[in-house]
């Protein structure tokens, strides 16, 4: 789905203490993968807690276009009857993945070793993002790819007739590249190997194993080596999607910066490959307790209790970046209220997300009275007890930029606006009512 044609300006104002329970939505990464693996399986995949944001709904639509039966049976409850590995049908129309990098890159991988042709497109944001990082390794399987200059969308892929397995070392830390190669490897005979220097989110590996694939991860001197045996029969599974730590970050941040706040955020995934923000916040002195740790749907989860309190700036090491890659915009907001400077290292990947997130955060924070210093791959925020606010931020079709500046405005002296809040629907459709329910003055 596309945004930008009907922008929705929004404003956040300084709020009283936030209190209550924030039931954040299902994990976006796991939701995409549940639909895609359900579609590549035989039998029934019953999903509960699916994120019904636009990114994931676009993936559901795409899975139908490739021949899977995908039905919504209740709130967050979906049933998929798949076509099996190698069973994708050729879609009759262009596949529009809207704003979703995960959707388009994983689906390209999932079809690249089946002899059908599909054309992928997306909105103005997605059409600027690099796809060569995925289409280059997919070509190694024997698929044929035509893209716009710079490897941009629209991209047309004709899947390999006789796919060969691939051994691929990812040039940047990216779970999307890793997952695209693994999904392509499903329909290649023999072992497909992905090597990553730094571990990235491991939802694909966990879920592939859960659906019956043979997959192993070893730590060697080359890095994390993931080996998948091709041509498994994937069998449909029940999938209970845990709540998204990347979405939880927004109410958590709001509670940390609005004086007097105390909130609970139940059932949030604590997968160590997604945990970097929470590790960082504890280092900053944040008052967060992880209660009732348990396992749900193959993922570690806990209930978060978050209280406002003093925070101090920290240096975030580059090797933590992958485990919190989507949380740097909101960390930069939290850092604006911390004592001293917060340095975020190794974050060049932020420049190729839904927007150039370093640039978007630096410009918007500066406009609201925060000092930010950027380099090509780092961002430093100078915190202060009071942040003036009073300006509008440009969101560039980026949900995380929109939500970050709306959280900022809950604790600034003057209101903070965003030019367009509509992209929030891609990942956190209930963001505004959920935040209002905690006592936040925004909308």
Ligand X SMILES: C=C(OP(=O)(O)O)C(=O)O
Determine the interface stretch with ligand X among 33-41, 97-105, 111-119, 149-157 (rule: CB under 6 A): 97-105
Assess whether 326 carries a catalytic annotation: yes
Task: Consult the annotation and say whether 357 binds a ligand.
Answer: yes
CA distances from 13 to 6, 17, 140, 187, 298 (A): 23, 13, 52, 52, 39
Q: Which two tokens stand for residue 220?
A: 């060697």
Q: How far is the CB of 32 from ligand S3P (least distance, A)?
A: 6
Task: Consult the annotation and say whether 101 binds a ligand.
Answer: yes
Contacts of 318 (CB under 8 A, 6+ apart): 345, 346, 347
Which has the closest alpha carbon to 393: 416, 374, 371? 416
Integer Cα distance of 335 and 407 in angstroms:
12
Closest residue to ligand S3P: CB criterion: 29
Integer Cα distance of 213 and 135 in angstroms:
23
Q: Which H or E run includes 33? A: helix 28-39
Q: Which does 179 bind (CB under 5 to 8 A by kind): ligand X, ligand S3P, none?
A: ligand S3P
In sign, the C-alpha dihedral spanning 104, 110, 113, 116 is: negative
Interface of this chain with ligand X, residues 159 to 178, rule: CB under 6 A = none
Q: Which does 427 bind (CB under 5 to 8 A by kind): ligand S3P, ligand X, none?
A: ligand X
Determine the interface stretch with ligand X among 85-93, 99-107, 159-167, 340-348 (rule: CB under 6 A): 99-107
Integer Cα distance of 45 and 60 in angstroms:
13
Task: Consult the annotation and say whether 20 binds a ligand.
Answer: no
Residue 102 vs 332, nearer CB to ligand X = 102
Kindly state whether residue 353 participates in binding ligand X, applying the rule CB under 6 A: yes
Determine the interface stretch with ligand X among 18-26, 94-102, 223-231, 373-381 (rule: CB under 6 A): 94-102
Kindly state whether residue 101 participates in binding ligand X, applying the rule CB under 6 A: yes
Q: Which does 175 bind (CB under 5 to 8 A by kind): ligand X, ligand S3P, none?
A: ligand S3P
Kindly state whether residue 326 participates in binding ligand X, applying the rule CB under 6 A: yes
Task: Consult the annotation and say whether 176 binds a ligand.
Answer: yes
Residue 85 vs 325, nearer CB to ligand X = 325
Integer Cα distance of 59 and 56 in angstroms:
5
* Mode of pairing for the β-strands spanning 117-121 and 95-96: parallel
Helices (H), 168-202: 175-185
Quick one: which of 88, 393, 400, 434 contacts ligand X (CB under 6 A)?
Answer: 400
Strand ordering across the sheet containing 392-393: 392-393, 416-418, 10-13, 441-442
Determine the interface stretch with ligand X among 58-66, 95-103, 233-241, 338-346 (rule: CB under 6 A): 95-103
In sign, the C-alpha dihedral spanning 70, 89, 236, 37 is: negative
Kindly state whether residue 274 participates in binding ligand X, applying the rule CB under 6 A: no
Kindly state whether residue 354 participates in binding ligand X, applying the rule CB under 6 A: yes
Residue 6 gets which letter from DSSP?
S
Catalytic residue among 55, 326, 356, 398: 326
Residue 309 gets which letter from DSSP?
-
Closest residue to ligand X: CB criterion: 101
Q: Which does 243 bind (CB under 5 to 8 A by kind): ligand X, ligand S3P, none?
A: none
Residue 206 vs 400, nearer CB to ligand X = 400
Quick one: which of 137, 427, 434, 435 contacts ligand X (CB under 6 A)?
Answer: 427
Quick one: which of 100, 158, 269, 355 contacts ligand X (CB under 6 A)?
Answer: 100
In sign, the C-alpha dihedral spanning 320, 287, 29, 409 is: negative
Residue with tokens 């694909």: 204
Q: Which residues bind ligand S3P (CB under 6 A)?
A: 29, 101-102, 174-176, 179, 201, 325-326, 349
Residue 49 vs 165, nearer CB to ligand X = 49
Q: Which residues are catalytic?
A: 326
Q: Residue numbers of the site for ligand X (CB under 6 A)? A: 100-102, 326, 353-354, 400, 427
Binding-site residue positions for phosphoenolpyruvate: 28, 101, 129, 176, 357, 400
Numbered residues of the known binding site: 28-29, 33, 101, 129, 174, 176, 326, 353, 357, 400
């Amino acid at each position: 789905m596309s945004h930008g044609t009907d922008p929705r300006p929004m404003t956040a104002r300084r709020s009283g203490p936030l209190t209550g329970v924030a039931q954040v939505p299902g994990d976006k990464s796991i939701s995409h993968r549940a639909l895609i693996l359900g579609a590549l399986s035989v039998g029934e995949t019953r999903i509960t807690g699916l994120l019904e944001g636009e990114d994931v709904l676009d993936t559901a639509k795409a899975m139908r276009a490739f021949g899977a039966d995908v039905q919504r049976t209740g709130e967050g409850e979906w049933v998929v009857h798949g076509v099996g590995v190698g069973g994708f049908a050729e879609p009759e129309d262009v596949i529009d993945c809207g704003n979703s990098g995960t959707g388009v890159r994983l689906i390209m991988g999932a079809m690249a070793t089946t002899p059908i042709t599909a054309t992928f497109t997306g909105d103005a944001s997605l059409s600027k993002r690099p796809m060569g990082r995925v289409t280059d390794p997919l070509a190694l399987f024997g698929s044929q790819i035509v893209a716009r200059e710079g490897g941009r969308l629209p991209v047309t892929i004709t899947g390999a007739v006789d796919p060969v397995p691939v051994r691929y070392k990812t040039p940047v830390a990216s779970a999307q590249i890793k997952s695209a190669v693994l999904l392509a490897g499903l329909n290649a005979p023999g072992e497909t190997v992905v090597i990553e220097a730094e571990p990235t989110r491991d939802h694909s590996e966990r879920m592939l194993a859960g659906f019956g694939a043979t997959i192993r991860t070893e730590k060697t001197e080359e890095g994390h080596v993931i080996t998948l045996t091709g041509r498994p029969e994937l069998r449909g599974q029940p999938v209970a999607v845990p709540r998204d730590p990347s979405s939880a970050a927004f109410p958590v941040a709001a509670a940390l910066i609005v004086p007097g706040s105390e909130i609970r955020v139940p059932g949030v995934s604590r997968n160590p490959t997604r945990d970097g923000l929470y590790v960082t916040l504890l280092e900053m002195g944040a008052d967060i307790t992880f209660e009732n740790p348990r396992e749900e749907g193959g993922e570690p989860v806990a209930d978060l209790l978050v209280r406002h309190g003093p925070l101090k700036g920290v240096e975030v090491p580059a090797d933590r970046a992958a485990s919190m890659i989507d949380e740097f915009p909101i960390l930069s907001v939290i850092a604006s209220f911390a004592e001293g400077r917060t340095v975020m290292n190794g974050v060049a990947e932020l420049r190729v997300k839904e927007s150039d997130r370093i640039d978007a955060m630096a410009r918007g924070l500066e406009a609201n009275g925060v000092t930010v210093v950027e380099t090509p791959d780092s961002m430093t925020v100078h915190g202060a007890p009071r942040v003036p606010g009073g300006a509008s931020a440009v969101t560039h079709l980026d949900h995380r930029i929109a939500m970050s500046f709306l959280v900022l405005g809950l604790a600034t002296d003057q209101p903070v606006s965003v030019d367009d809040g509509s992209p929030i629907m891609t990942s956190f459709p209930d963001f505004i009512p959920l935040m209002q329910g905690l006592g936040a003055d925004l909308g």
